[in-house]
Structures are given as C-alpha cells and as structure tokens.
Amino acid sequence: MPLIPRNRTGKKLEIPAKKILRGAALSEVVSRDTLAEPTSLDAITALAAQRTAH
C-alpha cells in the first residue's frame, strides 16, 4: 500500500479497509472528509475491484 489510511486524528482505518476488500462500496464505509489523506483508500478500492473481476 502506498499510504496507510488514517483518519484526521491519526488512527489507522483497518475495519473500513477490510469492509472494502470484502466488497463494500467506499462511500458506504467511510467519508473521504474524515481521512487525513483523501486518496489513501484508492489503492485498496482498486485491489478490491481486481479481486472481484477475477
């Protein structure tokens, strides 16, 4: 992962990452407004899409 997803207070977002990998939509799991780096979950979302495509 290029960036570890964290919220604005610095806590790692492990549960939302797991939910995305299991097929949940990013918008259902977390709001980009709460992320320290709004693009930090993009790599996980792309990986989830690849996994479901196969």
Condensed to tens digits (0 to 9), the pLDDT of residues 1-35 reads: 678 999 999 999 999 999 999 999 999 999 999 99
Give the torsion through C-alpha atoms of 32, 23, 11, 30, to 10 deg: 30
Q: What is the average per-residue pLDDT within 35-42?
A: 94
Residue 16 has a pLDDT of: 95
The rounded distance, in Å, linking the Cα atoms of 32 and 44 is: 14
**Which spans in the chain are helix H?**
14-21, 26-29, 42-53
Full-model pTM: 0.84
| Tokens describing residue 47 | 């990986």
Q: How far apart are CA 14 and CA 53, in angstroms?
A: 23
